[in-house]
């Protein structure tokens, strides 16, 4: 920490008076790219991001079980609302996949990605800043938006890309699917195939860093605005981050859907 500035903050020091850095030093959580460990289960670390991801999963599982119990041909309010959302998602998937049967087949993976990221992002926005825990002499927040941790976004990106390739291989056959990447038809296709293969790994990076960057930036923005002007001013930013949370969940799931749509089609059709 130099001149009283937190190391993680990339704000030019000459713009901020020294008194502010004093308050930042003493009253604001240190901004860290890595999620903070809050406890261990054996040798297994549990970070605040993983903790909130677990809570998000539990919330969604509870919601699923409640809805499952109340499912009926004549829907109630909750079922009606969720059916409306599912119907809209299916319509959107139809426009990409072009077939309702395929949309219904791939709804669970796309729907789960969307719901999980959305719930995680929105739970991360809840003003639970007062919940803190001391770990290794540091006071760290108990909860952190899961997508503000690269482990969450990379894990989701890996699952997404692998799911796309596995489902593509199942849909059109492994040999046909691999021929998208490895072909000796002519040198150009071979080169393009190799680029496609590399792009699959690039997708993981792009998926994970896009989501991480947006959510982490939102967290930092909210923390700084909330620290500088705690009353009223953070409200528009909270709304903005609510919207960003939705949009990022939507983008992640839609990109997965588009890649899935390309993967489950024949090679010729995809080109």
Partner 1 sequence: MSELFHQLGVDWKLLLSQGVNFLILLGVLTFFLFRPLLKVMEERKKKIELGFKVGKEAEERLLAIDKMKEEKLGEAEKTAFEIVKKSETDAKSGADKIIAEGGKKAEDLLKEAGQIAERRQEEAYLALIREAKTLVRAAIIKTVELDPKVVDEALVSRAVNEVASLAVKASKT
For partner 1, the binding residues (CB under 8 A) are 32-35, 44-47, 50, 53-54, 57, 60-61, 63-65, 67-68, 71-73, 79, 82-83, 86-87, 104, 107-109, 111-112, 115-116, 146, 149-152, 154-156, 158-159
Closest alpha carbon to 53 in 139, 154, 194, 133: 154
Least gap, CB of 10 to partner 1 (angstroms): 14
Least gap, CB of 271 to partner 1 (angstroms): 31
Angstrom distance (rounded) from CA 106 to CA 113: 11
Least gap, CB of 205 to partner 1 (angstroms): 12
Least gap, CB of 112 to partner 1 (angstroms): 5
Is 82 or 246 the residue whose CB approaches partner 1 more closely?
A: 82
Is 146 or 234 the residue whose CB approaches partner 1 more closely?
A: 146
CA distance readout (Å), 54 to 49, 108, 119, 151, 173 = 9, 19, 11, 13, 35
Is 73 or 232 the residue whose CB approaches partner 1 more closely?
A: 73
Is 58 or 229 the residue whose CB approaches partner 1 more closely?
A: 58
Least gap, CB of 87 to partner 1 (angstroms): 8
Least gap, CB of 187 to partner 1 (angstroms): 32
Q: What are phi and psi of 8, to 5 degrees?
A: -75, -15
> Concatenated DSSP letters for 185-242?
S-HHHHHHHHHHHHHHHHHHHHHHHHHHHHHHHHHHHHHHHHHH--SSTHHHHHHHHH
| Whether 253 contacts 119, CB under 8 Å | no
DSSP SS3 for 8: coil
| Whether 264 contacts 102, CB under 8 Å | yes
Quickly tell me which residue has 């901004």 as its tokens.
31
Angstrom distance (rounded) from CA 14 to CA 7: 15
Is 21 or 116 the residue whose CB approaches partner 1 more closely?
A: 116
Is 79 or 206 the residue whose CB approaches partner 1 more closely?
A: 79
């Amino acid at each position: 920490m130099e001149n009283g500035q937190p190391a993680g903050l990339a704000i030019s020091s000459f713009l901020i008076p020294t008194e502010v850095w004093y308050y930042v030093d003493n009253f604001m959580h240190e901004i860290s790219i890595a999620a903070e460990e809050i406890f261990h289960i054996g040798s297994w670390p549990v970070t605040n991001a993983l903790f909130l991801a677990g809570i998000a999963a539990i919330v969604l599982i509870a919601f699923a079980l409640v809805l499952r119990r109340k499912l009926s041909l004549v829907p109630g309010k909750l079922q009606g609302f969720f059916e409306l959302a599912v119907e809209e998602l299916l319509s959107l998937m139809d426009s990409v996949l072009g077939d309702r049967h395929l949309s219904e087949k791939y709804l669970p993976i796309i729907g789960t990605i969307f719901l999980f990221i959305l719930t995680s992002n929105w739970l991360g926005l809840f003003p639970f800043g007062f919940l803190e825990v001391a770990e290794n002499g540091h006071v760290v927040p108990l909860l952190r938006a899961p997508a503000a941790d690269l482990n969450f976004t990379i894990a989701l990106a890996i699952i997404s890309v692998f799911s796309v390739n596995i489902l593509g291989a199942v849909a059109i056959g492994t040999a046909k699917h691999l021929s998208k990447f490895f072909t000796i038809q002519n040198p150009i296709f071979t080169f393009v195939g190799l680029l496609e293969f590399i792009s699959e790994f690039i997708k993981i990076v792009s998926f994970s860093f896009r989501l991480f960057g947006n959510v982490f930036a939102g967290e930092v923005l909210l923390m700084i605005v909330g620290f500088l002007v705690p009353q009223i001013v953070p409200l528009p930013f909270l709304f903005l981050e609510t919207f960003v949370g939705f949009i990022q969940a939507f983008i992640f799931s839609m990109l997965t859907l588009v890649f899935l749509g390309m993967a489950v089609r024949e090679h010729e059709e995809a080109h």
